[in-house]
Structure 1
Amino acid sequence: MKLAVVGGGSTYTPELIDGFARLRDTLPIEELVLVDPAADRLELVGGLARRIFAKQGHPGRIVTTSDVDAGVADADAVLLQLRVGGQAARKEDETWPLECGCVGQETTGAGGLAKALRTVPVVLDIAERVRRTNPNAWIIDFTNPVGIVTRALLQAGHKAVGLCNVAIGFQRKFARLLDVAPGEVHLDHVGLNHLTWETGVRLGGPGGEDILPKLLAEHGDAVAADLRMPRAIVDRLGVVPSYYLRYFYQHDAVVDELRTKPSRAAEVAQMERELLKMYGDPTLDEKPELLAKRGGAFYSEAAVDLAASLLGNGGSPYQVVNTVNNGTLPFLPDDAVIEVQATVDGTGAKPLAVPKLDPLYAGLVANVTGYEDLALQAALHGGRDRVFKALLAHPLVGQYAYAEQLTDSLIAHNREHLAWA
């Protein structure tokens, strides 16, 4: 089995490597190719990756290359984890929206749109290269904004499934609170990428007892603290929102907070410098503790599970993925991409049935889906007017004057990445 990781020079890649090494019985990789244009980073990450495999006795071969075509050739699955523009672009995404009082964040709002515009054309180019070299390969997208990027891939006819670590993170945290094995916890997880709610927590599978009320009653403070939201919000809703919902439920408070502290991009950039220095140590043969602060917890386990299922090598019976709606949420278009529990096998992901969604959540999901449709059109075809319409449609912007100002700022800060600008 051959896997390729595009964006393999990421400082987060050792977490993925550690998962591949630990879970080699689930996903028996013979060759792993790390693909990245940043040759200096790639060499450091690749060296540590080989030492991690060696220490854990993994027999697979790790190859590094800056050549996308060579890297993805004959791959059974290709994982996408790239960041167009790097942390410098992320820092801008988190900064300029604050000038008009809007949230600055890399995956939602104006910053999220900027990331989508930079990313979608690059991802589609990579996917076409994959299709030319191996049309049967699966593409697993971890590149944000996952929902929009996955929708772009699916609409272009690629074999793609989107992946996010929010659900598996909740599963692991709830399992610890309940003192049960993670595999015993099944989430009624519904929404869009970074716009989801856990409407039920069941033991044993989809038909198991819903213990969410008990979980909140006994561990509500811990859950709310993890979300960085007041417990009153969680108690009032009676569900567990994704921590990204704080940008919607506490927008103005979050803007005030973001204006008074360093950006997350600045923190991550400093962390990356320290990590790369560590990776250059030839005696280091395990992921360093600092990597846990980098973000993306449990991504490696979710990626192994998904790849194993898509490639017919087992995997969990139910997984939370980003895939085509196809009637699952009847108030959305069939070609919308949703994030829900699904069964996954060699034919792809099939969403489980979802109970009728409360209007409190369905309304926001419908609104953001409309934005995502407009965002994808802007990413595919460009043009100031398309950018403006996407921003006007986003519930975190939604005002004419803000949309006008943010459109100009977005284009000014991303001109080098926008072919049409």
Structure 2
Amino acid sequence: MKRYNIVIVGGGSTWTPGLLQSLCKKKESFPLARLVMYDINAERQQVIGEFAKVLFKEKYTELDFEYTTDKEVAFKDVDFVFCQMRTGGYAMREKDEKIPLSFGVIGQETCGAGGFAYGMRSIRDMIQLVNDVRELSPEAWILNYTNPAAIVAEALNRQFPNDKKVLNICDQPVNLLRSYGRLLGRDPYEFEPVYFGLNHFGWFTHLFDKEGKDLVPVIKDIVNERGFIPVDAEQRDKSWLDTYATVKDMVTDFPDYLPNTYLQYYYYPEYKAKKLDPNFTRANEVMNGREKRVFEECRHISEVGTAEGSSVVHNDAHGDMIVEVAESIAFNRNRIYIIITENNGLVANIQDDAMVEVAATLGINGPRPFGVGKIGTFYKGMMEQQLAYEKLTVDAYFEGSYNKALQALTLNRTIVDAKKARKILDALIEANKGYWPELK
């Protein structure tokens, strides 16, 4: 069986230890010859990298491993690039969340004005990444799950329209499928999902089991009766439990389908804004919680020299997903995943150049997506408004257009008021100097 070379971009991420564990767990089905971790932040990455040395010494002795800040070392002769970068780090994420909240609207990592700011920062670095990889490994698969994935996917599709080995994908649908499995006491790998939408903005219309029974009505009944919790609820921060709990409200108000959890920010923008603490956002929760836990545990493992009994990983859906996606491509497994791709009729009454999120089989030639036909007026209206916001955001980046940025934020359902949008935009421009192109 062929052994692959991969690079993890964003090696200093708190999610990297889980990904490394997944690579160990799946070394028989997706064997590696070489693994490189790459990050521009040497200090953060060193903590994770030293943990990785201990982990691989115990669980993957045959693996050639190193971590680096040198892109020539990282991207040379690789087969897969796993990309999870965060331009600006948690310091800028905190601003993304707190600046909108100071104006009374939602401050969130990928939704609303916060997602706009993060997206504008991410585009430049993602374009540079693709160029760097293509220079050193022209045939590598770039598996991108950098947020906000919808804006990043739109930008990359414009910049590299003929590059068919850039795949944009998100782990939240996988988290939801695993959570449905927990709810039903079933194996989520047996589910066959039917899904449509935009990233962090979609719906499960059907969820078939291996006998062909649609489980969506069953899940809706359970959610209405008992509520909804994530598959790893015992290890989740409180804000995530609150996020999943709101699914019951969404299913009650809009019972047609099962929603992506992020839709609550668009269904209930005023309610959600009032529930958020402008002085302590999710960025603070992560920095004071998962960030500290992961880095403390990695340092401890490096000191004691063993990873046995480690609790450093509390959510393996993120790591398992991207490894399994690579495996499905490498060995032509043609498993079903929910991916982001150009529409071209998949959602029949949405424009063809939309970057939609749908189910697809994944094999050696990439995704073969499943169409869903026409969607109803309500869902079409929701999607088109969000799609216009995403396209205008990318227009603003490429054109350096203040007016397009203002149009984007005015259309976003978390804001809608143009005067408020202008104030937020001006504050974000000031906070993102050096990260965004100049807007005129």
Q: Distance in 2 between matches of 1:64 and 1:232?
A: 45
Whichever residue aligns with residue 33 of structure 1, its letter is V
2:355 to 315, 337, 346: 337
TM-score, normalised by the number of residues in structure 2: 0.89
1:216 pairs with 2:220: yes
The change in CA–CA distance for 1:223 and 1:20 in structure 2 (over 3 A counts) is: farther
The corresponding residue for 2:299 is 280
Q: Distance in 2 between matches of 1:287 and 1:149?
A: 37
2:248 to 208, 231, 243: 231
CA deviation after TM superposition for structure 1 residue 255, in Å: 0.7
Moved more, 3-12 or 45-54: 45-54
Whichever residue aligns with residue 246 of structure 1, its letter is Q
The corresponding residue for 2:343 is 325
The change in CA–CA distance for 1:204 and 1:379 in structure 2 (over 3 A counts) is: farther
Q: After superposition, what is the alpha-carbon deviation per residue over 1:86-111, rounded to whole angstroms, capped at 9, x for unaligned?
A: 10100011111112221101101111
The corresponding residue for 2:141 is 138
1:289 pairs with 2:311: yes
The change in CA–CA distance for 1:225 and 1:2 in structure 2 (over 3 A counts) is: closer
Aligned length: 415
1:56 to 44, 56, 59: 59
The change in CA–CA distance for 1:109 and 1:219 in structure 2 (over 3 A counts) is: closer
SS at match of 1:280: helix
Q: After superposition, what is the alpha-carbon deviation per residue over 1:396-418, rounded to whole angstroms, capped at 9, x for unaligned?
A: 22221111111101101111212
SS at match of 2:67: strand
SS at match of 2:40: coil
2:157 to 154, 157, 161: 154
Q: Distance in 2 between matches of 1:274 and 1:177?
A: 28
CA deviation after TM superposition for structure 1 residue 392, in Å: 1.6
Moved more, 67-76 or 117-126: 67-76
Q: After superposition, what is the alpha-carbon deviation per residue over 1:304-355, rounded to whole angstroms, capped at 9, x for unaligned?
A: 12111222x1445211111221210123332221111001112221211214
Whichever residue aligns with residue 276 of structure 1, its letter is F
Pairs within 5 Å for 1:50-199: 50-57=53-60, 59-157=62-160, 158=163, 159-199=165-205
CA deviation after TM superposition for structure 1 residue 220, in Å: 3.2
* Contact 1:109–1:394, Cα closer than 8 Å, also in 2: yes
The change in CA–CA distance for 1:58 and 1:170 in structure 2 (over 3 A counts) is: farther
Question: In angstroms, what is the RMSD of aligned CA positions?
Answer: 2.0
The change in CA–CA distance for 1:187 and 1:223 in structure 2 (over 3 A counts) is: farther
The corresponding residue for 2:287 is 269
The corresponding residue for 2:236 is none
Q: After superposition, what is the alpha-carbon deviation per residue over 1:62-121, rounded to whole angstroms, capped at 9, x for unaligned?
A: 210101232011111111101111101000111111122211011011110100111101
* Contact 2:389–2:408, Cα closer than 8 Å, also in 1: yes
The corresponding residue for 1:41 is 44
Q: Distance in 2 between matches of 1:246 and 1:202?
A: 25
* Contact 1:46–1:62, Cα closer than 8 Å, also in 2: no
CA deviation after TM superposition for structure 1 residue 231, in Å: 2.9
The change in CA–CA distance for 1:196 and 1:259 in structure 2 (over 3 A counts) is: same
CA deviation after TM superposition for structure 1 residue 57, in Å: 3.8
* Contact 2:250–2:259, Cα closer than 8 Å, also in 1: no
SS at match of 1:30: strand
CA deviation after TM superposition for structure 1 residue 228, in Å: 2.2
* Contact 1:319–1:343, Cα closer than 8 Å, also in 2: yes
Moved more, 11-20 or 158-167: 158-167
1:364 pairs with 2:382: yes
The change in CA–CA distance for 1:289 and 1:240 in structure 2 (over 3 A counts) is: farther
* Contact 2:10–2:38, Cα closer than 8 Å, also in 1: yes
TM-score, normalised by the number of residues in structure 1: 0.93
Unpaired runs of 5+ residues, structure 2, are 231-243
* Contact 2:191–2:208, Cα closer than 8 Å, also in 1: yes
